[in-house]
Structure 1
Amino acid sequence: MRILGIDPGLRITGFGIIDKAGGRLSYVSSGCIRTPAGELPSRLKSIMDHLNEIIAEHRPEQVAVEQVFVNVNPQSTLMLGQARGAAICTAVLNDLAVAEYTALQVKQAVVGQGHADKEQVQEMVKRLLNLAGSPGADAADALACAICHAHGGLGLGKISTAGYRMKKGRLV
Structure 2
Amino acid sequence: MNMRRFALLFIAGSALAVPARAQNDSQGAPAVTPCLAASSLRASDLYGTWRVELPQAGLAGTLVLSQHPEFRESLRGHFSYGDITSIASGDVEEGEFNLDESRDGKSLFAFWSGHIQPGSCGNEIRGRWEPLAKAGQPTLSASDFMLRRKKAAATPGGGSHW
Same fold at TM > 0.5: no
Between structure 1 and structure 2, the one with the greater Rg is 2
Higher normalized contact order (CA 8 Å, seq sep 6+, divided by chain length) = 1
Higher normalized helix content (fraction of residues): 1
TM score, norm. by length of structure 1: 0.28
Higher normalized strand content (fraction of residues): 2
TM score, norm. by length of structure 2: 0.29
